[in-house]
């Protein structure tokens, strides 16, 4: 009798653990799906390319939409200029992010170097968000930003129109 009871308890434990694991898996997938949906949908103008959606406008700006890949919870939008030397990257508001985050990626063809760094919503460099840069690098970034301010503002306006950020 005690052998059957111990065996029955063991089976109940296995079913209980299996049920908990299955429930956790289903909950994780539901949360991931809801987060994915918070990124919105892609219009028919975009084409799938290398795991993201890409669109080129008449002025040769490239727009990309990259929702979170499973099981990640992060995706982004980006807009890049025609010569691929300046990109605005946006991590939109989602289930796990209360506000959108912004970054710029700049490349200098002359010096053959580039930087990716965070900016605020108004496209201002943020020391707090970019502690890894030296003073020399920061000065170079700020100089680039000043020289390319009009282009940065244009990218932001295009992004706002495209994704309603």
| Per-residue pLDDT tens digits for 41-79 | 887 789 988 888 999 888 889 999 998 999 999 999 999
What average pLDDT does this structure show over 16-27? Answer: 97
Q: Is 85 within the bounds of a domain?
A: yes
Q: Is 41 within the bounds of a domain?
A: no
More confident residue, 16 or 109: 16
Q: Is 139 within the bounds of a domain?
A: yes
Q: Give the number of other Cβ atoms within 10 Å of residue 104's Cβ.
A: 22
Interatomic CA distance for residues 137 and 157, integer angstroms? 27
Interatomic CA distance for residues 107 and 59, integer angstroms? 20
Give the count of domains, the chain.
Answer: 1
Q: Is 77 within the bounds of a domain?
A: yes
Q: What is the pLDDT of residues 107-164, one digit of tens each?
A: 988 778 899 999 999 999 999 999 999 999 999 999 999 999 999 999 999 999 998 8
Which pLDDT does position 3 carry in this prediction? 64
Structural domain range at position 113: 47-163
Q: Is 81 within the bounds of a domain?
A: yes
Structure tokens at 115: 């930087």
Q: CA dihedral defined by 88, 62, 99, 160, rounded to 10 degrees?
A: 100
Quick check: 152 and 86 in contact, CB under 8 A?
yes
Which pLDDT does position 59 carry in this prediction? 82
Closest by CA position to 144, among listed 107, 118, 101: 107
DSSP 115-136: EEEEE-TTS-B-TTT-TT--HH
> 137: helix, coil or strand?
helix
Distances (CA, A) of 134 to 111, 117, 122, 137: 17, 13, 23, 5
pTM: 0.84
Q: Is 73 within the bounds of a domain?
A: yes
Q: Is 68 within the bounds of a domain?
A: yes
Which pLDDT does position 6 carry in this prediction? 84
Which pLDDT does position 97 carry in this prediction? 86
Which pLDDT does position 2 carry in this prediction? 61
Quick check: 138 and 76 in contact, CB under 8 A?
no
What average pLDDT does this structure show over 3-11? Answer: 83
Q: Is 18 within the bounds of a domain?
A: no
């Amino acid at each position: 009798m005690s052998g059957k009871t111990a065996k029955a308890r063991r089976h109940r434990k296995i079913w209980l653990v299996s049920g908990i694991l299955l429930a956790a898996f289903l909950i994780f997938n539901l949360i991931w799906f809801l987060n994915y949906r918070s990124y919105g949908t892609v219009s028919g103008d975009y084409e799938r390319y290398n795991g993201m959606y890409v669109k080129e406008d008449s002025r040769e700006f490239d727009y990309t939409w990259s929702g979170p890949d499973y099981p990640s919870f992060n995706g982004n939008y980006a807009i890049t200029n025609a010569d691929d030397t300046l990109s605005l990257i946006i991590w939109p508001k989602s289930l796990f992010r209360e506000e959108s985050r912004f970054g710029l990626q700049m490349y200098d063809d002359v010096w053959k170097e580039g930087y990716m760094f965070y900016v605020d919503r108004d496209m201002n460099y943020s020391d707090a968000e970019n502690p890894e840069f030296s003073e020399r690098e920061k000065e170079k970034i700020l100089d680039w930003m000043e020289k390319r301010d009009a282009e940065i503002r244009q990218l932001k306006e295009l992004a706002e129109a495209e994704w309603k950020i």
